[in-house]
Amino acid sequence: MMQEKEIVNIERKQSILRAKELKADAIPFLEAAAFIPTGSDCAAAASAKKHQILEVLKGDEVDWNDWKWHVKNRVRDAGILTRILGLGDVEKKRIEKVGRMYRWAISPYYLSLIPHDYQENPIYRQSVPDIRELSEAGSLDPMNEALTSPAPCITRRYPDRLIINVTNQCAMFCRHCQRRRNIGENDRHALWEDLTKAIAYIAENREIRDVLITGGDALLLDDRTLEWILNELHAIPHVEMKRIGTRIPVTLPQRVTPELVQMLKKYPPVYINTQFNHPLEITPDAAGACERLAEAGVVLGNQAVLLKGINDSPAVMKKLNHELLKIRVRPYYIFQAKDVRGTQHWQTNIKTGLNIIESLRGHTSGLAVPTYIVNAPGGMGKVPIMPESILDIQDDKVTIKTWEGKVMEIANPC
């Protein structure tokens, strides 16, 4: 009979061989990740850009820490953008041309993240108009939101949850925005009477247990208005959770003030889904905003949009998700870019998204693996798209494919 010590030695040798296999799987990402910068890596350059922006906009450090100053001084003029970034004449004219069709604006904070060599930078590309936006392909309302509004400000596509659209204002108008049709020429918060009707609709429909407050960017409401909405929802017995859709931690973290987080703390449970699309957006300021929200009991999730040339690489998406978990933001969804008019240059092949999910599942912690979502046409809702792991199901067995691509059978209990 084999001695116990010999058995242990054999098991240890097999374990060492397996550990070597796993290490070989992990090393390529570590090598690739070393060349993917984060916002923290670029903090010194952003600080220098901040001082340049303050000089151009005639602001000071007190202004920089005031979120209302950022909103008031959003850069929306190609001439000012040229002074800050050193754009060429052709670039400037193209921005002006697109701007006559689609509104644009960039918060000074988000603009400070754009480096000197800006052309292919993910921050620049998400915020500065692109001449390809003038394409007529796509729909202005691919989600059919106009046909799913049973009350003012309401969008309802699911049985037990709905959206309240409270504003069209954003700190920065993303160039891939699904609601660019609502941006208009001016910032517009929802009318008080319309919000009242929306709250009344929710109160009258007891199946609604989950309400998402969004826009635009819901956190660009003042604290008083936002608290009124949360308080009204909190008082409705069948509303179990309040969600806020915002990109503020990414585009204007100064908005996450001590007063805001103390107010949010009064209305649990509050869930905030934000949208970090690239590790460069995870700056010390963004991390601080998320930490303040988390410490107030807010549950944070991220809904990235899969964007060609921004994050359509397995290494970039894995690095993004790792960095998010470090600041207590759970990767929740990766959205396939919607077929919005003027944004088709952002769309990737769906196989690209599936490859990213395959590169994550099993190769990193489950917390870092979001669900890949495609929105069904005509506002028919979110559809999760997953790599095939079940190859065959029979009465007594199931054939599966593991995260390493190994095919095996497991018993199928009766």
CATH number for the domain that contains residue 320: 3.20.20.70
| Residue of 114, 176, 156 lying closest to 304 (CA atoms) | 176
Please tell me whether residues 392 and 372 are part of one structural domain: no
Is 138 a member of any domain?
no
Residue 201 pLDDT > 90, yes or no?
yes
- What does residue 343 show for φ and ψ, rounded to 5 degrees? -125, 15
Please tell me whether residues 264 and 368 are part of one structural domain: yes
Residue 249 pLDDT > 80, yes or no?
yes
DSSP secondary structure code for residue 368 in this structure = G
| Residue of 318, 259, 251 lying closest to 286 (CA atoms) | 251
CA–CA dist 336, 121 (Å, integer): 21
Mean pLDDT of 65-79: 98
Peptide bond into 342 cis (omega under 30): no
Structure tokens at 32: 């690739």
Decide if 16 contacts 43 (C-beta within 8 A): no
CA–CA dist 38, 25 (Å, integer): 23
pTM of the model: 0.94
pLDDT digits (tens, 9 = 90+) for 275-322: 999 999 999 999 999 999 999 999 999 999 999 999 999 999 999 999
Please tell me whether residues 285 and 329 are part of one structural domain: yes
Structure tokens at 81: 């953008």
CA–CA dist 402, 397 (Å, integer): 15
Residue 2 pLDDT > 70, yes or no?
no
Domain boundary among 84, 102, 129: 129
Count of domains observed in the chain: 3
Query: Quick count: other Cβ atoms within 10 Å of Cβ 215?
Result: 25
Please tell me whether residues 270 and 165 are part of one structural domain: yes
Phi/psi-derived region of residue 150, left when phi > 0, alpha when psi is between -120 and 50, beta in every other case:
alpha
Please tell me whether residues 399 and 277 are part of one structural domain: no
**Mean pLDDT, all residues of the chain:** 94
CA–CA dist 357, 26 (Å, integer): 16
Domain boundary among 76, 105, 129: 129
Query: 């796993």: which residue's tokens?
Result: 22
Confidence of residue 324 (pLDDT cuts 50, 70, 90): very high
Mean pLDDT of 106-121: 96
Bridge partner residues of 410 (DSSP): 398
DSSP secondary structure code for residue 122 in this structure = H
Coil, strand or helix at 229: helix
Please tell me whether residues 262 and 320 are part of one structural domain: yes
Please tell me whether residues 352 and 405 are part of one structural domain: no
Residue 147 pLDDT > 90, yes or no?
no
Query: Quick count: other Cβ atoms within 10 Å of Cβ 51?
Result: 12
Decide if 171 contacts 74 (C-beta within 8 A): yes
Range of lowest pLDDT (276-280, 333-337, 406-410) = 406-410
What pLDDT, on a 0 to 100 scale, did the predictor assign at position 268? Answer: 97
Is 11 a member of any domain?
no
Please tell me whether residues 198 and 333 are part of one structural domain: yes
| Residue of 336, 263, 335, 275 lying closest to 300 (CA atoms) | 275
Bridge partner residues of 214 (DSSP): 165
What pLDDT, on a 0 to 100 scale, did the predictor assign at position 43? Answer: 97
Domain boundary among 129, 161, 190: 129
- What does residue 382 show for φ and ψ, rounded to 5 degrees? -80, 140
Is 47 a member of any domain?
yes
* % of the chain at pLDDT higher than 90: 81
Please tell me whether residues 224 and 263 are part of one structural domain: yes
Please tell me whether residues 63 and 115 are part of one structural domain: yes
CA–CA dist 175, 307 (Å, integer): 11
pLDDT digits (tens, 9 = 90+) for 208-220: 999 999 999 999 9
Residue 182 pLDDT > 80, yes or no?
no
CA–CA dist 389, 398 (Å, integer): 10
For residue 47, give the H/E element and its range: helix 43-57
Give the up-direction half-sphere exposure of residue 277: CA atoms within 13 A in the CB hemisphere: 25
* Contacts of 44 by beta carbon, 8 Å cutoff, 6+ apart: none
Mean pLDDT of 138-163: 88
Structure tokens at 84: 């800050």
Decide if 80 contacts 93 (C-beta within 8 A): no
What pLDDT, on a 0 to 100 scale, did the predictor assign at position 141? Answer: 77
Please tell me whether residues 123 and 105 are part of one structural domain: yes
Is 351 a member of any domain?
yes
* % of the chain at pLDDT higher than 70: 99
Please tell me the total number of residues recorded for the chain in this structure.
414
Domain that holds residue 58: 43-129
What pLDDT, on a 0 to 100 scale, did the predictor assign at position 327? Answer: 98
Is 16 a member of any domain?
no
Is 283 a member of any domain?
yes
CA–CA dist 11, 293 (Å, integer): 47
Is 9 a member of any domain?
no
What pLDDT, on a 0 to 100 scale, did the predictor assign at position 281? Answer: 98
Is 8 a member of any domain?
no
> By CB neighbour count within 10 A (0-12 exposed, 13-18 middle, 19+ buried), where does 381 fall?
exposed
Q: Following CA atoms 206, 212, 216, 221 in sequence, which dihedral angle do they give, to the nearest 10 degrees?
A: 90
Please tell me whether residues 401 and 363 are part of one structural domain: no
What pLDDT, on a 0 to 100 scale, did the predictor assign at position 72? Answer: 97
